[in-house]
Amino acid sequence: MCEQGENSAASSSKKGGLVSFLTGKPIEIPKKHLFGICRFVGEFEKLNRVGEGTYGVVYRARDTKTNEIVALKKMRMEKEKDGMPISGLREIMLLQSCNHPNIVCLKEVVVGRSLESIFLVMEYCEQDLASLLDNMQTPFMEAQVKCIMIQPTLDWLANWDIQCLQ
């Protein structure tokens, strides 16, 4: 729970404030309720930066409550003026719908000190497919390729847009 105090987070009209969808009138939400049940990113210790892509920067991090090592992805928000980019929402929805042992798991979404700081907490993998393929000393044998191609994961994802870094 993001409990940062009782002050209103939406009281400043300089930044636009929050508006009710029902009435169209300005509303104030106590800061402790602003992020719902999301955890604060400060509960994670960033250990090192592991990569950067089109949609964000990924860190290896430690959950200070459980000591679990996780991947912490900071979503890029700079191109959007009115909230989260649709690509970010799609990524969250896709990861939430994928429940398979061979696909990285989205554990939760956490927030920073502002609505523009959104992080995805994911299962940490030591290596991704692209780096594995780039650093191989010898290429896969034909039998290995056949084995990979018939694995249930690829069958399950047959209709998804698969890229090496996903």
Helices marked H in 30-162: 86-97, 129-134, 142-149, 152-156
Residues of each annotated binding site for ATP: 73
122/127 Cα distance (integer angstroms): 14
Query: Please, which residues bridge with residue 8 across strands?
Result: 30
Residues of each annotated binding site: 73
CA 48 and chain centroid, separation: 16
136/139 Cα distance (integer angstroms): 6
